[in-house]
Structure 1
């Protein structure tokens, strides 16, 4: 049974045309007591806002909620500068940042930024180096010299700010092993949940790599992106023919998420609209009805 207090978040739009609404919803999520807001990172699309710009402005307008880029497009954000970005945001916000990290997926788009394309193996090795270097450049200490395959820094002074938690969006076995060795959390890809084949086959890879590295696998959180409707009345079926969560009433959400924490060690959930934009009604029901009920049920065990 999980002993971790689950986190609850919401995904907000990165569309340029929704900029004001995105910031308003982040403020509302903060007021409603959610733990984090998340934004995606696709800098090759002109109609999308820069992910870290959203996080910075939203953190400046909020007081308690944390920001997460889910997940950082690492090939377009070199690790030394990414370290400066996240430690700066942490210092400015009082530590309200989580660092999402990805090796890069849409390479046909990524290379249009002028970034050299990496093989899948090289991209995963670069991910491991980046996590290591971001941590080395955080928390103070002696100047860092790092001579890696992808990143080199010389006598670079670390920021006096601790590194934020690192969550990955790892998918393949080698990337999952990096998560087990180095990361603090994992966000399963393709909105897979605790009953999915992806989770059943992937989480053991993380756990085995963590154990081999001398880590406790339980220290690596699993946080789920959850698309799904919040319906006014119960649905006949809360999962589709493939077993994917489709949503349900407040009571059905509460039952499902409570079971995910107590029976499957889920560490957090992000309401992640896909087909329709996030609405005030959905955010309010999620934050003020579903989340408190799950927190209460989990605390009661």
Structure 2
């Protein structure tokens, strides 16, 4: 049973052509009481919006919701500059930023940007260095000198802003162990959920690494990217033959997510609407019907 207040978010469209809709979605999500807006980071694709430019615009047009790049591709955004970006966004927004961070899942694509081509093992070592350096450059008072394998800074003053929560998109065993040692949260890859084989084999690696680092594994939140349809009538089955969630009625969503929180310790969900329901309608059902009901049900059980 989870005592953590669950978070609820919405995934933003990332196509350049959808830019006006993306900003409208962020405003609607904020007005309807969600916790997060999220956008993916594919800065090697010209038809995709830059993730941090989009999050900055979204935060500038909202008042309470937080922004998350899901997840930042560290190889293309070096840790010292990324630290400056997220602490600046935190200062500008009143702390409404979460740092989603990944080792870089498409290394061949990233090489097209002129980014040095790292081996998967090296990318994971860079991820660990990046988390360590970003924290060192946030909220301190003494100049930072860091001479790592991938990142180096010399007598660099940290920003007078604390580091935001850091959630990783770790997939392989080595990066999962980095999450356990260093991160605040985990976004399982490939939209895996609490019933998936990926979760069952991956979360123990995080927990074991956390315990070995004298951390409480329960302090590392699991937040799910969760696609699905919100239908007007119940579906006969809410999961496909492979066990993946496909959606259902409001009541079916409420039952599923309440169980995920109370029985599996889920810390949050970011909806990626599927199907042909217009995005603003799907978002309205999510924010105004499903989320309040799940919050109420889980608050009753944990109070």
**When the two structures are superposed, what TM-score results if normalisation uses the length of structure 2?**
0.98
The answer on 1:283 being equivalent to 2:283 is yes
Q: Classify 1:146/1:275 alpha carbon distance in 2 versus 1 (closer, same or farther; 3 Å).
A: farther
The answer on 1:209 being equivalent to 2:197 is no
Take 2:218 and 2:278, find their aligned partners in 1: how far apart are those partners? Answer: 32
Structure 1 partner of 2:133: 133
Structure 1: state its 5+ residue gaps.
none
Take 2:251 and 2:141, find their aligned partners in 1: how far apart are those partners? Answer: 50
Take 2:286 and 2:270, find their aligned partners in 1: how far apart are those partners? Answer: 10
Take 2:262 and 2:28, find their aligned partners in 1: how far apart are those partners? Answer: 28
Q: Is the 8 A contact 1:13 1:277 kept in 2?
A: no
Structure 2: state its 5+ residue gaps.
none
Q: CA deviation at 1:108?
A: 1.9
Structure 1 partner of 2:87: 87
Q: CA deviation at 1:275?
A: 6.1
Take 1:122 and 1:151, find their aligned partners in 2: how far apart are those partners? Answer: 12
Q: Is the 8 A contact 2:69 2:99 kept in 1?
A: yes
Structure 2 partner of 1:253: 253
Once the two structures are superposed, residues 83-141 of structure 1 have per-residue CA deviations (whole angstroms, 9 ceiling, x without a partner) of: 00000000000000000000001122110000111011100000000000000000021
Structure 1 partner of 2:147: 147
The answer on 1:234 being equivalent to 2:243 is no
Structure 2 partner of 1:191: 191
Take 2:277 and 2:206, find their aligned partners in 1: how far apart are those partners? Answer: 33
Take 1:274 and 1:74, find their aligned partners in 2: how far apart are those partners? Answer: 28
The answer on 1:36 being equivalent to 2:36 is yes
Q: CA deviation at 1:273?
A: 3.1
Q: Is the 8 A contact 2:128 2:182 kept in 1?
A: yes
Once the two structures are superposed, residues 246-281 of structure 1 have per-residue CA deviations (whole angstroms, 9 ceiling, x without a partner) of: 000000000000000000000000001356686111
Secondary structure, in 3 states, of the residue corresponding to 2:288? helix
Q: CA deviation at 1:14?
A: 1.2
Take 1:147 and 1:254, find their aligned partners in 2: how far apart are those partners? Answer: 49
Structure 1 partner of 2:62: 62
Structure 2 partner of 1:164: 164
The answer on 1:294 being equivalent to 2:268 is no
**When the two structures are superposed, what TM-score results if normalisation uses the length of structure 1?**
0.99
Q: CA deviation at 1:29?
A: 0.1
Take 1:35 and 1:122, find their aligned partners in 2: how far apart are those partners? Answer: 34
Q: Classify 1:215/1:278 alpha carbon distance in 2 versus 1 (closer, same or farther; 3 Å).
A: farther
Take 1:289 and 1:215, find their aligned partners in 2: how far apart are those partners? Answer: 36
| Paired residues, number | 301
Once the two structures are superposed, residues 150-190 of structure 1 have per-residue CA deviations (whole angstroms, 9 ceiling, x without a partner) of: 00000000000000000000000000000000000000000
Q: Classify 1:242/1:235 alpha carbon distance in 2 versus 1 (closer, same or farther; 3 Å).
A: same
The answer on 1:11 being equivalent to 2:40 is no
| Alignment RMSD | 0.9
